Structure 1
């Protein structure tokens, strides 16, 4: 088995672990408390509630249909991913979405949550769900839903904020919850959503932008930036202060989760290269978000 296949299998294994971690707090904490997440999973939860509590669809005890509904509402988005975001991204997203749907169906939902206090359950559940989602994203995969919409709109409109889609979906979910349940459910659902989003940002570095300054004697470093990372950059010709050797100086901006890849490939080309990283507080102009 070649290195590429081994790396793919390793990544898919970690994606599977992330999918389990992501689903566990939903089935063990959030669903038994009748709480919701302000994302596409929340939409699937609402549809499940309408089917089970209002349409009285009979389901086996402990079985949650949320995963099946989530996969079905992701089908139009998966089509969008196939047409607009590339076949490799599509394949990884289908695998991850199928795993999440499978674990939603296999992990039994207890009659009572394993943590009885709602606030504690929302905080712990949010951290665990965010960690699981972060694992999936850090391995270059996607659970569908907002990830696909965010990538698509970011490509169509460079200055588009993915947060706008998140806010719109969250408003829809929580407004619907007001009609189905009381205000307390909305409050705890919002706490869970905020905590999971905060944890996701901590465990996944896509939202953190980093500028990199590279000083090297190997001009092939430019290919690492443009081809391996699909980033733009600026090049200068410099000279060593002591050695007076001609050097190539590159500046680029990338997401924090791409830093290790850049460092590894640059040092493979030039073990004596010098790289300086700095966190960027804001960017003006076009910056392509990579998943």
Structure 2
């Protein structure tokens, strides 16, 4: 009973921390968009960049201001559904909350013109948005949109997240350059680059870690890991613990830091008594997905 109460209290505190981080993220992201990107005609990467392009085109056609927050939220709705069925439902739940907070902050944050210098707007907009994104990722949170797309495509295709991200953002930047002029594309590229570096200063989401799991339920753990993470796993059967002399299996896999929260949730549900060891700074010299059983 005491363990349950303490566990529930800790879970509530964790949820409270996550919600607080999402509020900070939403505020910082709205500053990057409304004070820097929009004033400098800078087009961000991901869903925000797509929202900016659609909003600009609609405003040019209708002559009426279009709320970018609404466009941003609407574009995220089908991605929520994709993440719900392909990625992880708890992951998507916090994503919905984060996107809702961000949309609300974008709507109420005034478009203040501190400067319209495109280089300043690109650098500061990228730095602020990148830092806020890194802060969210560091706390196991998704900020919506492209995060879900990247994880879903990685799971479906096996391609690296970085490669998919570069392709999608490249298409967005080229579209902005083709429609609105190539200087906008170059400044947008600068902002995306600065944002990526700022994110890396806080949290490198593609950093790989090696996980060793010692469990008495290897088949169940393997099935769930393959379902949720699609990672190769080396399995060593008939390992024996020195204390209890019970047969166990050792599972070895490599995942990204971004996937650690998913792995933790899997182990809590499937085998909370398993021993899990995580090694940082792993360098991969071969296929990142191949399955091997010893």
TM-score range, shorter chain: 0.7 to 0.9
1:31 Cα deviation after fit: 0.5
Q: Is the 8 A contact 1:126 1:196 kept in 2?
A: yes
Q: Is the 8 A contact 1:213 1:252 kept in 2?
A: yes
Give the whole-Å Cα distance in 1 for the aligned partners of 2:287 and 2:29: 34
SS at match of 1:211: strand
Any unmatched runs of 5+ in structure 2? 1-7, 268-272
Give the whole-Å Cα distance in 1 for the aligned partners of 2:218 and 2:89: 26
Q: Is the 8 A contact 1:146 1:165 kept in 2?
A: no
Residue 162 to residue 276, structure 1, CA distance change in 2 (3 Å): closer
1:277 Cα deviation after fit: 4.1
* Structure-to-structure mapping, 1:53-132, within 5 angstroms: 53-58=60-65, 65-113=67-115, 116-132=116-132
Q: Does 1:180 align with 2:187?
A: no
Give the whole-Å Cα distance in 1 for the aligned partners of 2:290 and 2:163: 17
Give the whole-Å Cα distance in 1 for the aligned partners of 2:253 and 2:88: 24
Normalised by the size of structure 1, how large is the TM-score?
A: 0.74
Deviations 1:41-74 (A, max 9, x none): 0110111112223311146xxxxx2221111011
1:253 Cα deviation after fit: 2.6
Give the whole-Å Cα distance in 2 for the aligned partners of 1:98 and 1:206: 23
SS at match of 1:184: helix
Give the whole-Å Cα distance in 1 for the aligned partners of 2:278 and 2:182: 52
Q: Is the 8 A contact 2:40 2:122 kept in 1?
A: no
Of the structure 1 ranges 38-47 and 196-205, higher mean CA displacement relative to structure 2 is found in 196-205
Residue 68 to residue 280, structure 1, CA distance change in 2 (3 Å): same
Give the whole-Å Cα distance in 2 for the aligned partners of 1:124 and 1:79: 33
1:164 Cα deviation after fit: 4.0
SS at match of 2:282: strand
* Structure-to-structure mapping, 1:191-202, within 5 angstroms: 191-202=190-201
Q: Does 1:146 align with 2:146?
A: yes
* Residue matched to 1:62: none
* Residue matched to 2:4: none
Aligned counterpart in structure 2 of residue 286 of structure 1, from 273, 289, 292: 289
Any unmatched runs of 5+ in structure 1? 60-64, 241-245
Residue 220 to residue 23, structure 1, CA distance change in 2 (3 Å): farther
1:26 Cα deviation after fit: 1.5
* Residue matched to 2:3: none
Residue 279 to residue 111, structure 1, CA distance change in 2 (3 Å): same
SS at match of 2:60: helix
SS at match of 1:160: coil
Aligned length: 269
